[in-house]
Structure 1
């Protein structure tokens, strides 16, 4: 394979509760696990407050003394650095005294761009390449289908953000989760058509789109020119009744399992009964000579270290290096 696929891991699975991932020794232990499992980068997740010391660049500096000190720790564990950062501008941020900003509201676009710039500057210092953002708010909070005006407003926001962070060299990438209004082929295509392809990419999250009833392999083939980041996880379930479109689906469906009482919506890649066809996706990546970060994750896991090991085993076989091709 001439293209370069780098293996990263999302740290979000180590934060299932508000107070159990707050100390530097816990961070270091988790990163050592990731390095031992063969991953070379870590994806951070935006957050807020004293219980989320890795949620914001300022919080990292407050905990470690400086961005540089944090990056020194990351590299001591054996990782190359921070690959990417996921941020949802619709989430409340205590430090900024706001309850979430909407990309559909043009009056808030400048504030969204200003709030995301520190993340991009951090990534530039950390050697990261992608600022991953939630493409659209939850479908359950909106009147569907979205109008052309609403999609145009969101696209304007992301074009503004992309232009604002261009100075850092970090690229903006739109993430589609199963609850998002963007988890619809027509809406996603319209949003991508209205954003600047030179500055705005697409993050393909395999399990999220599968839960929403979409085929990640088909989506990659359709939008491969825009896909510049991967979030890889598996699922055994599709939301066939549309619970993801209901208000408060984050709690009623994802956290509480919905009407079927699903214990875990997301699993390690290659899990028995998993619906994502990872070998087919890997073949399409090779066919399109795709390069970038493939960030593995396993949200809702009861054992983060075990999930990282299972994902690491699978990752090394899905994307084998020349020295690993003869492994059984």
Structure 2
């Protein structure tokens, strides 16, 4: 590879928006587990309110006294940086009295730019380089998905955000979760074609794509020139009943398990019965000399520390070059 893959871990499996993950000592304990498992960075998740003190740059500064103090604590645990931050601008934000801003609404694009810039500026200070955003709203909210005009609107918005955050040294990367309208091969290809490759990349999420019925290895090959970030987790399930398009799929399918009462949609990498072909993906990463952050996840885990250890074990075998030092 032209440069080593770097391995980070996602804070989302600690359920950061729950009231049992609000104190600095709980954050420090989680970061120590991530570092002990061999990861060098952590990916944060955008959030809101007093129950999510790691959800926004201003909340981190308020909780720790300053961004510098938080980063000092993080580095003392053995981690090098905040690798990345995932943010969905469509989610409500209490601090901004916002019910969410749709990237499909051109009138809100400048607001989205202004809302996302603080995350990029934080990342630049924290040693990270990827601002990961939800590419499109949930498919069920769009009555069949965006048309060509909608894709053009979204692309215009992301181009504006990408250009703005690029000035901080951070790159914007689009993420297609299993409920997103972007988790469709034609829609995703159209969105990438409309966005500027110089400032907008693609985050490949192995389990989210698999649940949506897509092949992440095939999509990596098809778009490897745009893939600049990885989310690695496993799944044992595909949404065979198309429940991701049902109203309120976030609650009915992902949280409630859907018609099949699926207990967990997402698992640690290499879980027995897992559907993601990680060996094939690693081979394609090497074939294309890919470099960047590989962020491991298992956000529906009942035991975050156990999952971090299992993912750490798997990461060393999947991407030994990332741990060679």
Under a length normalisation based on structure 2, what TM-score does the superposition of the two structures give? 0.98
Q: What is the SS of the residue equivalent to 2:133?
A: strand
Aligned equivalent of 2:298: 298
Aligned equivalent of 2:124: 124
Moved more, 189-198 or 15-24: 15-24
Aligned equivalent of 2:71: 71
1:137-174 CA distance string (max 9 Å, x none): 00010121421000000000000101111210100000
Residue 91 (structure 1) shift: 0.2
Q: Is the 8 A contact 2:203 2:229 kept in 1?
A: yes
Gaps of 5+ in 1: none
CA distance in 2, matches of 1:105, 1:321: 43
1:283-327 CA distance string (max 9 Å, x none): 0000000000000000110000000000000000001139869xx
Residue 2 (structure 1) shift: 4.2
> CA 1:287 to 1:29, structure 2 compared with 1: closer, same or farther past 3 Å?
same
Residue 94 (structure 1) shift: 0.1
CA distance in 2, matches of 1:322, 1:310: 17
Aligned equivalent of 1:62: 62
Map 1:1-328; keep pairs closer than 5 Å.
1-15=1-15, 18-321=18-321
Deviating above 4 A after TM superposition, structure 1's stretches of 4 or more consecutive aligned residues are 322-325
> CA 1:63 to 1:16, structure 2 compared with 1: closer, same or farther past 3 Å?
closer
CA distance in 2, matches of 1:324, 1:137: 39
Under a length normalisation based on structure 1, what TM-score does the superposition of the two structures give? 0.97
1:223-247 CA distance string (max 9 Å, x none): 0000000000000000011000111
Gaps of 5+ in 2: none
> CA 1:39 to 1:64, structure 2 compared with 1: closer, same or farther past 3 Å?
same
1:78-107 CA distance string (max 9 Å, x none): 000100000000000000001010000010
Residue 3 (structure 1) shift: 3.1
Aligned residues: CA RMSD: 1.3
CA distance in 2, matches of 1:30, 1:145: 38
Number of residue pairs aligned between Structure 1 and Structure 2: 325
Q: Is the 8 A contact 2:5 2:321 kept in 1?
A: no
CA distance in 1, matches of 2:324, 2:124: 31
